[in-house]
């Protein structure tokens, strides 16, 4: 029997054959992969995983991939770093940093795109595409190059230049839309109806989003087969946030960890685009769409597809949701760099600023462990911090050095 059963509606009992399909014909609910856990349990154990490759492909048996040919650019199994300096600074027992900024294209998006590109090959697509807030474009372009696809990436025209360069270099068509991400996504959804293309985050979304659960797998494995007291995750569509939790629960399902009943899930968003956090804190079940205006462009989704599920999960795990200002984001980026030597992009700044806020609000006790997700690299959002970094210019003489730096 196959390990993948069907595509199942998240809202009604309807099931569909595995195919590039993402919404339920009956109720328009989102579709999700349904697995045959009994079958998977027979062949997957701690040993089979730890003997696997040092990449997301060590979890291949838990992903919706049939064959052995995967599109592998070295994604995943990123470091879980014990952030002792930051823990001391904030007065906490233990902060762990899941550093996904060191993936091949410098963001966690390589996880979702590795799965989506492999599945696109299995479905025999020849054209690969996405609607992107920035990091996805780079990852889709890189995987498209490796897989030999014709690749198109659609981005909002106001994107950071570094992110445009980081996608263009791999040779895709880069299409800049005059509008925000939600406009880009709307156009791409229309294109996906008429063109026979693999849009990773539209018609391949059920497969794509499964890539995110490998963050949960890795955290549990790297902590010694357990889950932490707290997770703080950034949210754009809300998909990563809910999939980390799904990863924990699947590990529980196949007997690798205990039920993650004491792990609380916390959402981090920028104030200028916080539809999920704001609605959570107002007691609403569905996020109210907003028009984004924030330096955290990788999180600038005003109408988040998984917002409803993210709110539900934060509530069910006794978690919380936060919104931080642009100023706090820049301070967060700087704090992480100066304490831990990790240069993250604005999304990571949102997470660190949220951590600082939660410590101030005493939402984390001194004896608890927290894992924060650092999902992207600071080299791609340099424009927000360039004012911090003006060097001191001197002549090439000892005198000039000592005149300028009398304390050394
Ligand atoms: C895309 C992205 C996220 C969040 O993605 P979701 O849509 O919520 O799954 C977080 N951080 C970075 C850097 C991203 O590029
Ligand atoms: Zn349905």
- Model confidence over 183-235: pLDDT tens digits? 999 999 999 999 999 999 999 999 999 999 999 999 999 999 999 999 999 99
Nearest one of 74, 62, 52, 67 to 118, comparing CA atoms: 67
Please tell me the distance from the alpha carbon of residue 20 to that of residue 258, in angstroms, as a whole number: 34
Question: What phi and psi values does residue 398 have, to the nearest 5 degrees?
Answer: -60, -40
Identify the CATH assignment for 80-106+211-388 out of 3.40.309.10, 3.40.50.1100, 3.40.190.10, 2.60.120.620: 3.40.50.1100
Instruction: Say what the pLDDT of residue 391 is.
Output: 86
Ligand 1 pocket test, pick from 234, 302, 343, 349 with the greatest ligand atom count within 8 Å of Cβ, gives 234
Q: Counting ligands in written order, which one lies closest to the CA of residue 346?
A: 1
Work out which ligand 1 atom sits closest to the CA atom of 237: 7
- Is residue 137 within 8 A of residue 171, CB to CB? The reply is no
Q: Report which bound ligand comes closest to the CA of 213.
A: 1
Is 107 a pocket residue for ligand 1 (Cβ < 6 Å)?
Answer: yes
- Going from the Cα of 242 to the center of ligand 2, the distance in angstroms, rounded, reads 19
CA distance 332 to 348: 8
Q: Whose CA is nearest to atom 2 of ligand 1?
A: 298
Model confidence, pTM: 0.96
Indicate whether residue 201 lines ligand 1 (CB < 6 A).
Answer: no
For ligand 1, whether the C-beta of 349 sits within 6 Å is no
Point out the ligand 1 atom lying closest to the alpha carbon of residue 209. Answer: 9
Q: Is 348 in the pocket of ligand 1 (CB under 6 A)?
A: no
Contacts of 148 (CB under 8 A, 6+ apart): none
Place 160 in a pLDDT band, splitting at 50, 70 and 90.
Answer: confident
The answer to whether the beta carbons of residues 319 and 327 sit under 8 Å apart is no
Q: What would the pLDDT profile of 106-134 be if each residue is shown by its tens digit?
A: 999 999 999 999 999 999 999 999 999 89
Map out the domains of the chain as residue ranges.
1-41, 80-106+211-388
């Amino acid at each position: 029997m196959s390990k993948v059963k069907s595509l199942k509606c998240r809202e009604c009992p309807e099931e569909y054959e595995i195919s590039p399909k993402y919404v339920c014909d009956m109720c328009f609910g989102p579709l999700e992969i349904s697995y045959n856990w009994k079958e998977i349990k027979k062949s997957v154990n701690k040993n089979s995983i730890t003997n696997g490759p040092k990449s997301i492909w060590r979890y291949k048996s838990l992903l919706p991939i049939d064959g052995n040919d995967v599109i592998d650019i070295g994604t995943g199994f990123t470091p879980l770093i014990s952030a002792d300096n930051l823990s001391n600074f904030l007065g906490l027992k233990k902060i762990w940093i899941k550093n996904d900024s060191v993936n091949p294209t410098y963001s966690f998006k390589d996880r979702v795109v590795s799965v989506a590109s492999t599945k696109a090959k299995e479905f025999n697509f020849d054209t690969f595409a996405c609607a992107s807030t920035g990091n996805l474009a780079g990852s889709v372009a890189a995987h498209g190059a490796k897989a030999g696809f014709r690749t198109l990436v659609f981005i909002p025209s106001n994107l950071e230049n570094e992110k445009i360069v980081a996608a263009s270099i791999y040779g895709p068509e880069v299409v800049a839309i005059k509008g925000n991400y939600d406009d880009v996504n709307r156009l791409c959804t229309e294109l996906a109806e008429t063109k026979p293309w693999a849009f990773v985050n539209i018609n391949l979304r059920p497969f794509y989003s499964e890539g995110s659960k490998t963050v949960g797998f890795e955290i549990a494995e790297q902590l010694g087969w357990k889950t932490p007291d707290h997770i703080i995750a950034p949210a754009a569509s809300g998909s990563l946030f809910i999939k980390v939790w799904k990863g924990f629960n699947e590990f529980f399902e196949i007997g690798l960890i205990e039920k993650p009943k004491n792990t609380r899930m916390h959402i981090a968003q920028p104030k200028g685009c916080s539809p999920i956090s704001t609605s959570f804190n107002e007691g609403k079940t569905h996020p109210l769409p907003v028009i984004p205006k924030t330096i955290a462009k990788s999180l600038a989704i005003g109408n988040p597809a998984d917002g409803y599920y993210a709110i539900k999960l934060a509530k069910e795990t006794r978690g919380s949701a936060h919104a931080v200002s642009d100023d706090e984001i820049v301070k967060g980026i700087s704090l992480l760099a100066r304490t831990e030597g990790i240069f993250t992009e604005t999304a990571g700044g949102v997470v660190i600023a949220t951590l600082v806020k939660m410590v101030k609000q005493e939402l984390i006790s001194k004896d608890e462990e927290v894992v924060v997700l650092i999902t992207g690299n600071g080299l791609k959002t340099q424009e927000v911090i360039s004012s911090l970094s003006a060097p001191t210019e001197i002549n090439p003489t000892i005198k000039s050095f000592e005149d300028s730096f009398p304390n050394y």
